[in-house]
Structure 1
Amino acid sequence: MSLVDHAIWWQVYPLGALGAPVLEREEGVHHRLERLEPWLDYVVELGCSGVLLGPIFASTAHGYDTVDHDRIDPRLGDDADFDRLVAACHDRGLALMLDGVFNHVGAEHPLVAADSPLLKHDGDALAVWEGHDGLVELDHARPEVADLVVDIMLRWLRRGIAGWRLDVAYAVPPAFWREVTGRVKAEFPDAVFLGEVIHGDYAAIAREGDLDSITAYELWKGIWSSIKEANFWELAHALARHDEFSASVVLNTFVGNHDVDRIASLVGEERAPLAAAVLFTVPGMPSVYYGDEQGFTGVRGDGFHADFPVRPPLPASPADLLPTGAWLHDVYAQLIGLRRRHPWLTRARVEVLDKTNESISYRAAAGEESLEVHLTLEPDPGVSVVCSDGETWSWTRP
């Protein structure tokens, strides 16, 4: 069985979570990766089965401007720190997925200094991604770029990771991904490839690129927007689209990540359990963005510090978390437990049974297994889940 069929990820942005400076230069090696280890038992107790780790390779600033894919960012540590983290994850039965930026490199990458033919050009100038001068695009039409990416992927898979999140996968030709994943899977047939895609035909992109999963941004938008605006007609539409895509690809479902406003800020802490309930009762491979299960808040801003509010540092250990988030953590743990007891949900089909502005009912089913979910916003936010095996779960705002 593929990892896609049962994984529940805890996604963490390490530079922010571990308190590394993002915009200021820092000399020497700082062993911050070891600060993640106290959180691994927390991840297991929450019920997750893997850690989806944001950028850890040497970069200039935020991690998505890579300058060396072969070296751990010295703000996070070194090879020994990484190997200890892999071992600590494996000791607890946790898979580890890395974030690979293969659409572009940072402007300080040696390829840029050498004006390498592996870089894409726009006329006489180097092509940059979406107008960001610090991000120079690779030329994916060149076979040497595929060789480079395959080499990087294999090197870290041999060191114990389970797969790759492919940053801005939508900007890379699907044929490139198909070639790369095919070559990598020749040695690691169980490796998982998760493509970041915002818009488009998720199923077609996955099929053409031979990707195992695609980020479910359409569903994410439908979840938070319908709860915030009391318009479950939008969620009904998103669920219909989600069902269509899920017929052929397992989507990565989420209600938060490093690029979006925190779910508790979008819908309010008292309604966050409704978003979590959808996350864990529909088809897909769920991921939890660190702190969402504690009710962390944060709204993206403007300028160089725009992402800081949604990428905050973690306390030194789970024991240092504020007690105010414990109730939401319990809700997440219960829902994750329900999800793990019903792994068939990953590849289920979903249909909406009823909807109004303030409530929605839907059914997820696979073979003889099924569950029905009812969400309501008025008079108080509430969730009820009834499973075909007799298990039930409910929550109402105290």
Structure 2
Amino acid sequence: MKKLPFLLLFFLVLATTTLRAQSTAVYPTNWWVGMKMNKLQLLLRNLSQNIGQQNVSIQYPGVTVVKTHRFENPHYLAVNVEISPSAPPGQVPITLKGKGKTQTLKWPLRQQREGKGTTYAQGVTSSDFINLLITDRFSNGNPANDRIPGLRDQSLNRDSMYLRHGGDFQGITNHLDYFQELGVTALWLLPVQINDRPNRTEHGYAITDHYRIDPRLGGEEAYKKLSESLHQRGMKLVMDAVYNHVGLQHFLEMDPPASDWMHRWPTYTQTTYKEQTLFDPYAAPSDRKKMSDGWFDDGMPDINHHNPFMANYIIQNLVWYVQEFGIDGIRIDTYTYSDLEFANRCNQALMEEYPKLTLFGETRVFGTPNQAYFNQNVMNLPYKSNLPGSVDFQLLYHGIIPALTQPFGWTDGVNKMYNTLTNDFLNQDATRNVLLLDNHDEPRFFSVVGENVEKQKMGYKWLLTCRGVPQMYYGSEVLLKGFTNPDGLVRSDFPGGWPSDKKNAFTGQGLTTDEKAVQDLVKKLGQFRKTSSALKTGKLMHYVPNQGLYVYFRYDADQTIMCVMNTDTKPRTLNFGHYAERTQGFSQAQDILEAKSLSLSSSPTIPAMQMWVLELKK
């Protein structure tokens, strides 16, 4: 009797595998009428039939077969189709004939969802406040999907940083009120497509099927429910896209149509992680090739973007994904490792289909010119990027971290932040860059600043008042900590996301005084920012730091916000007259976070390692 569940599981997996092997899959799995992208490459796949040797035809009004392509691997057939503007929604019959056999597939052609640019594909801008989540680590709303029969990873153990913990879309949907209390307007989830691999499936970056949402997170319907719930609240959904690689168990790696769909090397070759080789005038071509064509990880094959069929597969999937799930913005993983001309093609296809959709890339690079190289910039270079913005690691590494952890000096401490911001001139629009204190690959900011609560508060005050799009990382508002040695230590569970949790950040139960204080600060400043025109879209003016005192203003015609950072170890006197360009005409400064008002004719003292956020009043 004890063996029966295992046998049942075995036969279920066998039956599922057999069924999939006998059926023909079509990618994209469906499309829509009236799309600008109306010339598609349909990739057909069947493991048990040599469909590559079959003839294909479509008899459907407005849908025309342009040409077909056969591959080395007979399991695949590429069919180029064109969909006219007059094509009606319906089930498009794709007929395959070969060796006396005929099969007809039904390929859905649907009506587009309503509200393009208004209720979805709206863009994520400096008016938003993003919260980054790892779905598996946030909240378990449906324990029934914790394990899914047939998948390679059957782990479930919250005591292990690398096993699955059970968080899902329902857990996020259950707590949308909490995000709105924080002032959050957009949720960015790590990739949610299935990672059907033996281990390390919690992060989502080793995708094994681009057209399947991980059922352990709730699957397609729960993801759509989350998207709809966000949009009903006036919130937004950010997709984490991976242009650069797939998972080792992806069917296009395990059973590729041809040998050149991924980059191949005589022996395993990893990327150099040196983006400098892409623009270095002295770079060796072999180093440049390793940077772009080397594998990011031994479990993540590097996509060959020069293969036109693979390139089409990825580009079409991205457009499909936005339309299918109502995406508003896209963060692009490992952007610098992709072929950059291909990346431009991807970006252009998305922005042409969805003009308001915003994109920002992960560019963990060395220096502001390096970062600007991958953005829309003002530099006269042979390569012209069309990427609107990046995750602004420069203002993390060379901004807020040294400001709060280094002594003040000519080029040290908060002067690094000042110097880094002065290089915004390299970008066409630096407000499209996404600010952060920490994320799933970075140490928790609370640990970086030595678990100093006041410095953590200063970090959030800066995050929510500086130029750009602010992005917080789940749990840092209640002082989650950890260094990335290894990365699992910064991917712990959100307190209160599981019924057995003794500490609950949603209700406040079990939170310490400090944890509650930082959470309350984020809530108050996050709510203020939602209605602050100066912080959302206003200009920035800053002054040369003096003895650790750094002052900057966010302002427009309707509002002026004065931000005062004392990064010194001593109290400093604030003379409002030193900032006359922005303070002239005002008489009072109202502290946004505390019930106090300062006269601009006074010279108040700001304590060491404190930050004031002041709204100037006439």
* Same fold, TM-score > 0.5, yes or no: yes
For 1:279-318, what aligned pairs fall within 5 Å after superposition? 279-301=463-485, 306-314=486-494, 315-316=496-497, 318=506
- Which residue of structure 2 aligns with residue 339 of structure 1? 529
Q: Deviations over 1:12-44 (max 9, x none)?
A: 1112334779xx921899782211122211111
Q: Distance in 2 between matches of 1:383 and 1:346?
A: 26
Residue among 412, 433, 442 paired with 1:260: 442
The residue type paired with residue 335 of structure 1 is L
Contact 1:384/1:392 (<8 A) preserved:
no
**Residues 383 and 204 of structure 1: CA distance in aligned 2, closer, same or farther (over 3 Å):** farther
For 1:1-398, what aligned pairs fall within 5 Å after superposition? 2-18=123-139, 25-26=153-154, 32-59=168-195, 60=197, 61=200, 62-115=203-256, 116=258, 117-123=260-266, 129=294, 132-158=297-323, 159-199=325-365, 200-207=369-376, 208-221=384-397, 222-230=399-407, 231-242=413-424, 244-245=426-427, 247=429, 250-267=432-449, 268-301=452-485, 306-314=486-494, 315-316=496-497, 318-319=506-507, 322-324=510-512, 325-346=515-536, 348-356=538-546, 358-365=548-555, 370-377=560-567, 378-379=569-570, 392-393=591-592
Q: Deviations over 1:228-271 (max 9, x none)?
A: 22322222222223465474562101111111011111112221
The residue type paired with residue 53 of structure 1 is L
Q: Distance in 2 between matches of 1:246 and 1:384?
A: 34
Deviates more, 1:345-354 or 1:177-186: 345-354
SS in 2 for 1:88: helix
Q: Distance in 2 between matches of 1:123 and 1:351?
A: 54
SS in 1 for 2:181: helix
Q: Distance in 2 between matches of 1:48 and 1:174?
A: 32
Q: Which has the larger radius of gyration?
A: 2
**Residues 27 and 216 of structure 1: CA distance in aligned 2, closer, same or farther (over 3 Å):** closer
- The offset of 1:214, in angstroms, is 0.7
Q: Distance in 2 between matches of 1:382 and 1:91?
A: 48
Contact 2:270/2:297 (<8 A) preserved:
no
Q: Distance in 1 between matches of 2:186 and 2:546?
A: 36
Q: Distance in 2 between matches of 1:82 and 1:17?
A: 15
SS in 2 for 1:132: coil
**Residues 34 and 124 of structure 1: CA distance in aligned 2, closer, same or farther (over 3 Å):** same
Deviates more, 1:339-348 or 1:65-74: 339-348
Q: Distance in 2 between matches of 1:286 and 1:296?
A: 19
- The offset of 1:63, in angstroms, is 1.3
Q: Distance in 1 between matches of 2:446 and 2:415?
A: 21
**Residues 106 and 281 of structure 1: CA distance in aligned 2, closer, same or farther (over 3 Å):** same
Q: Deviations over 1:335-368 (max 9, x none)?
A: 2234333345455554441424543222345578
Contact 1:8/1:50 (<8 A) preserved:
yes
Q: Distance in 2 between matches of 1:242 and 1:67?
A: 38
- The offset of 1:90, in angstroms, is 1.6
Q: Deviations over 1:279-312 (max 9, x none)?
A: 12221011111112222212121xxxx2222111
Contact 1:146/1:179 (<8 A) preserved:
no
Q: Distance in 2 between matches of 1:37 and 1:382?
A: 47
The residue type paired with residue 401 of structure 2 is W
Q: Distance in 1 between matches of 2:458 and 2:155?
A: 45
Deviates more, 1:161-170 or 1:74-83: 74-83
Q: Distance in 2 between matches of 1:357 and 1:261?
A: 28
SS in 2 for 1:64: coil
Q: Distance in 2 between matches of 1:146 and 1:108?
A: 19
Work out the percentage of aligned pairs sharing the same amino acid.
20
Q: Deviations over 1:177-206 (max 9, x none)?
A: 221122223322222211111125433422
**Residues 243 and 338 of structure 1: CA distance in aligned 2, closer, same or farther (over 3 Å):** farther
**Residues 125 and 223 of structure 1: CA distance in aligned 2, closer, same or farther (over 3 Å):** closer
**Residues 262 and 271 of structure 1: CA distance in aligned 2, closer, same or farther (over 3 Å):** same
Show structure 2 runs of 5+ residues with no match: 1-121, 141-145, 157-163, 272-293, 377-383, 408-412, 498-503, 595-606, 612-618
Deviates more, 1:158-167 or 1:10-19: 10-19
Q: Distance in 1 between matches of 2:138 and 2:207?
A: 19
SS in 2 for 1:93: coil
- The offset of 1:56, in angstroms, is 1.0
Q: Distance in 2 between matches of 1:367 and 1:81?
A: 43
Q: Distance in 1 between matches of 2:235 and 2:558?
A: 30
Query: By percentage of residues, which structure has more helix?
Result: 1
Q: Distance in 2 between matches of 1:297 and 1:271?
A: 14
Show structure 1 runs of 5+ residues with no match: none
Aligned-CA RMSD value: 3.3
Output the TM-score relative to the length of structure 1. 0.87
